[in-house]
Amino acid sequence: MKEEEIREELKAKINEHIDSLSLEDLEEISGGNCSELSEDSIVLRSLGLCSGYSYFDLLLNPGHCQAIVGAWAKAGVECKFSDLFVNEYYINGKKVSRNEAVAFVKNKAK
């Protein structure tokens, strides 16, 4: 088989696998790090738990990342921040998706 044929076959297999993933699955393998924490800060700010930070705020002042992690903790969610990989969220020791963590915090705030 030629290299181009192998490449196309592999692309087809990858695309087939991606198409079979749910939005929840895709969330688990995307996002993460400062970009995700910036979005987290917007949600947490709307609930009065922390200030809102842009992606660049977090890059320039890494201490803000810990402020967001602390805000999650105040709301009952453990956030394991990762510089390189996807952030992880836990409620009562159980790993949950970011969407589940956000829903938990919003429901708790009601």
Residues 6+ apart with CB under 8 A from 95: 88, 89
Tell me which residue has tokens 């738990």.
Answer: 49
Q: Mean pLDDT lowest for which of 15-29, 52-66, 92-106?
A: 15-29
| % of residues, the chain, pLDDT over 90 | 40
Domain positions in the chain are: 1-30, 31-109
State the Cα–Cα distance between residues 79 and 102, nearest whole angstrom.
11
Tens of pLDDT, residue by residue over 4-16, are 777 787 777 766 7
State the Cα–Cα distance between residues 51 and 87, nearest whole angstrom.
19
State the Cα–Cα distance between residues 16 and 100, nearest whole angstrom.
26
